[in-house]
A and B are shown apart, each in its own frame.
Chain A
Amino acid sequence: MSAEQVLFWVFAVATVVAAGGVILARNPIACAMSLVATFFFLAGIYVLLWAHTIAAVQVLVYAGAIMVLFLFVLMLMSLSDQGPVMTFSAWRIAGVVAVVTVLAALVLVFRRLPAQESLAWSGDAARLGDFGTIKHLGAVMYTQWLFPFEAVSLLLLVAIVGAVVVAKARV
């Protein structure tokens, strides 16, 4: 195994374990911290995919900003360690069936993906050029994907205005 593969398995197993912690931990704060760990290990996988900048932004935005707000709210709510007792209802069973179906469909699709030679980029730094650098990302984002980028920022603006409107009524 190359060093890259070893790192992949370290990050992949850690991501899955941490993601399992998010749904299995009883303590809500522990769930939130597991999610932070998941984001962190996922950033490691991004680095292995030559997306260094995305990895840094992932840690900066998701682990550093969004999850801090989650944690902030959870701390203020003072939830107990004892979560809700597991119950079975028709909706729950339907949900489990849906999740299993989606998972099976994904596995099927990924197994049928052709093993493209052009995707095997690992170790071929010359062919990558400036892929994944902040320069390349900026160029692509502000030329090719300008419209989606601006549309998303408009969406964020709407969300901010909405939050202010909702909060202002109580202040």
Chain B
Amino acid sequence: MRIGMIFISISLIVGALFTLMGASYALAGWLESLELFAGAGHLGAILVQMLVMVMVTATLLTLAERKWSALMQDRVGPNRARLPIPGLKDNPLAGLPHIATDVLKMLTKEAFRPKAASKFLFNLGPILAFAPVFALFAIVPAGPTVEVMGKQVMMVAANPDFGLLFLFAIASLAVYGTSLAGWASNNKFGLLGGVRASSQMVSYEVALGLSLVGMMLAFSTVKLAGPTGMTALQAPYLWSFNLLGLDVGIPRWGIFLQPLGFLLFFAAAFAETKRAPFDTPEGESEIVGYFIEYSGMQFGMFMISEFVEVVVLSGVLAAIFFGGYYLPFGNEALMGLPVMKAHPWLLGATLGTVFWLKVILLCYLQLAIRWTFPRFRYDQIQTLGWKILLPLGLANLFISGALVLWDPSLHSLALFGFVVLGVIVFLTLTPSRQVRLAKQAEEVHGGHGHGDDHSLPANTH
């Protein structure tokens, strides 16, 4: 029963993604064939991707966060809002009505502004917090460029020559929203939150940029989309063999070539999203944060920008480290299918679904991290950024650079990557020093004759 439900849910999600991506390609091809103006189809594709895919995923994440946090904390979770439909009256519908009630509440609440707040900057804060985060998705390719109705349709808003520099430039602008919001509210807690946010984001930007240089070196490009972009270059295999007509192998994904780079980028980007464990700018239990004076939809902008950031970060991670819209293997077999050759939009929709599934999995990973770790102290955040991530990023840069120079086929880089992955897994599985010391203390304690203590876990002492 339970397994059946899970299968039905997963196939519903996959079906919805496939339908949306197929509709996106069809709409773009149709608009292009109308020949209204140059780039009409492209505009349609962008609008569907940004306004439907990104925004709907972000909106659903607000509910997902509440559900998953409840699951992890052994609570029931959101189940109060019910729809007054006769047959469904007593069904919480997995909390789905809560999305509607949240939106209604935010839209109808008074947008209050403190008297002493600086009016223009106070209103500018939420806008500047939301816009850069949303704009980041512009360079992330959500699907391949295929021919629909005789027209080329691409699933990326822009593919500038400076690719990842756009990402860094726009991501660095997001800090203005939070710091301005904190300052303009004329509230001491808000100011503290704003100052914390700006110092944290400035510190982690250095590690953020440095961690991706390894990938730029490996593929000698900074572009994400297009035939010379990182996504397309990750599809070929490092090692492969043919299994019953299906090509199987290890692709040149960033996670295999640059596991350390992935870890550093993920940590730094996670700090930029200001979510737990890096949520000192908010710190609900101590200072409430930079949005303390905001209410109604202005607060809603801050909240939704956080979730949009989660989606966009997942998209960027998928495009740089997880092969973008490509399958791990079997791409050639898929593209060789007669039905895919006859209907290229079908190929686009399939690969687009693969991309969005990766995004959803990475979103889940981010939510799981957010509800697993306690908040770091302010000095721990700065130590992690400057004394751990930055030196590791520099070391990673030099080693990757040397390996790419020594072996341009990237095989040795991948072997080194597997070693690093092994070390990371080993470090994750070995208990930390505190746990080992606690265990030792317990054994010494137990030696004195309190034999019952052995059955208790170490952390109860």
Residue positions of A touching B, CB distance < 8 A: 27, 29-30, 33, 36, 52-53, 56-57, 59-60, 63-65, 68-69, 71-72, 75-76, 133-135
Contact = CB atoms under 8 A, between A and B. Distances in A.
Given A33-B176, A36-B176, A56 B183 contact: no
Nearest to A130: B161
Interface string B145-176: 00000000000000011100110111111011
B222 A29 contact: no
Contacts, number: 80
Interface stretch (B194-202, B235-243, B405-413): B194-202
Interface string B189-218: 001001100110110010000000000000
B179 interface: yes
B181 to A, nearest CB: 11
Given A29-B121, A65-B172, A72-B199, A56 B179 contact: no
Given A52-B160, A64-B172, A75 B166 contact: no
Nearest to B199: A72
Contacts of A29: 118, 121, 180, 183-184
B112 interface: no
Interface size class of B (residues with CB under 8 A): 20 to 34
B202 A69 contact: yes
B173 A59 contact: yes
B426 interface: no
Interface of B: 118, 120-121, 124, 160-162, 165-166, 168-173, 175-176, 179-180, 182-184, 191, 194-195, 198-199, 201-202, 205, 222
B195 A75 contact: yes
A52, A75, A133, A135 — most chain B CB neighbours (10 Å): A75
A53 B182 CA distance: 32
Contacts of B182: 75
Interface of A is mostly: helix
B92 to A, nearest CB: 44
Interface of B is mostly: helix
Contacts of B179: 68, 71-72, 75
Given A29-B121, A75-B183, A64 B161 contact: no
A65 B183 CA distance: 18
22 contacts: A27-B118, A30-B121, A33-B121, A33-B124, A33-B176, A53-B162, A56-B160, A56-B169, A57-B165, A57-B169, A60-B168, A60-B172, A63-B169, A64-B172, A64-B173, A65-B202, A68-B198, A71-B176, A71-B180, A75-B195, A134-B162, A135-B161
A4 to B, nearest CB: 16
A56 B172 CA distance: 11
A134 B166 CA distance: 12
A135 B161 CA distance: 9
A90 B180 CA distance: 38
Nearest to B118: A27
Contact of A53 (B165, B198, B201): B165
A17 to B, nearest CB: 15
Given A29-B121, A30-B121, A76-B195, A56 B162 contact: yes
A134 B183 CA distance: 37
A68 B202 contact: yes
A68 B272 CA distance: 14
